[in-house]
């Protein structure tokens, strides 16, 4: 996201490696969201190109800008694109509108058209945004300068856990939710044991855990549980 003509659509085309979005020098060219997916280092990202944010009286363009705000709220990672060659005087106005919609999200500040400014001008940019806590990337989408660095930043921002050989990966969302629910149930059992609550209450949480595991493996009976206990533990009469 960003203001008009900062290079959002050009960057989308570079990341997707195809001419997905129309690019022109006319402000407000993109009036609706454009979405497509691409795989980067084994991770699937769904990129959303949005209408440039500006103050306009055009009703159709304003509808597109409202959708931009909606997509910011829905996104996991927000790429805030800025034109290095002409930072708008509306930057504070824009910051206010972005900040309240991007709370809790990973925001990456992307300075575009870096090929058109000097090192001294780049230092000025750094100082202007020294209060910004998120990551900053300097690129040229048109010249494909440091776009690979942006891709690496996206992979890092995804914050996926490292997978080691022998790890169990749950790819079925229904199984994942069932395992989560079973985990919550068994944690309640452990807390109940520590608190010394009665067995009646504990048994209810155990039954819930059995129910959720049974959604994956098939129904689990009490006889199976008892057989497993007596088969693996020494229990006196």
- What single string gives the DSSP state of each residue in 162-230? P--TT------HHHHHHHHHHHHHHHHHHHHHHHT--HHHHHHHHHHHHHHHHHHH----HHHHHHHHH
pLDDT of 44-53, one tens digit each?
898 888 877 7
Q: Is the pLDDT of residue 134 over 60?
A: yes
Contact 50, 81 (CB under 8 A): no
**DSSP letter, residue 63:** H
- The mean predicted confidence, pLDDT, of the chain is 79
More confident residue, 42 or 95: 42
Please give the Cα distance from 96 to 36 (Å, whole number).
28
Report the C-alpha gap between 128 and 114 in whole angstroms. 16
Q: Is 35 helix (H, G, I), strand (E, B) or coil?
A: strand
SS3 158: helix
Mean pLDDT of 6-34: 67
CA–CA distance, 45 with 5 (Å, rounded to integer):
23
Q: What gap in Å lies between CA 52 and CA 8, rounded to an integer?
A: 8
pLDDT over 90 for what percent of the chain? Answer: 14
For 141-164, how does the pLDDT look when each residue is reduced to its tens digit (9 = 90+)? 989 999 999 999 999 888 766 667
Residue 227, pLDDT > 70, answer no
Is 50 exceeded by the pLDDT of residue 28?
no
Indicate the range of 99-103, 204-208, 223-227 predicted with least confidence: 223-227
Q: What is the mean pLDDT of residues 65-78?
A: 81
- Nearest residue to 74 via CA among 37, 42, 47: 47
Question: Rounded to 5 degrees, what are φ and ψ at 81?
Answer: -90, 130
Residues 158-169 pLDDT 10s: 876 666 777 777
């Amino acid at each position: 996201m960003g203001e008009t003509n900062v290079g959002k659509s050009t960057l989308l085309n570079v990341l997707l490696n195809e001419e997905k979005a129309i690019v022109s020098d006319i402000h407000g060219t993109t009036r609706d969201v454009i979405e497509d997916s691409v795989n980067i280092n084994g991770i699937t990202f769904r990129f959303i190109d949005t209408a440039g944010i500006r103050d306009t009286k055009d009703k159709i363009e304003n509808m597109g800008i409202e959708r931009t705000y909606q997509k910011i709220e829905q996104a996991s990672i927000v790429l805030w694109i800025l034109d290095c060659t002409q930072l708008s005087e509306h930057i504070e106005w824009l910051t206010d509108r972005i900040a309240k919609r991007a709370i809790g999200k990973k925001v990456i500040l992307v300075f575009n058209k870096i090929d058109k400014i000097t090192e001294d001008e780049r230092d000025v940019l750094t100082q202007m945004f020294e209060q910004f806590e998120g990551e900053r990337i300097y690129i040229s989408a048109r010249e494909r300068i440091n776009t690979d660095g942006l891709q690496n930043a996206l992979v890092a921002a995804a914050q996926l856990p490292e997978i080691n050989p022998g790890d169990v990966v749950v790819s079925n969302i229904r199984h994942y939710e069932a395992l989560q629910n079973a985990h919550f149930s068994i944690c309640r059992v452990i807390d109940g044991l520590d608190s010394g609550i009665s067995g009646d209450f504990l048994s209810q949480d155990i039954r819930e855990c059995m129910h959720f595991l049974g959604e994956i493996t098939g129904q689990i009976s009490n006889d199976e549980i008892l057989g497993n206990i007596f088969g693996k533990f020494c229990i006196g009469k």
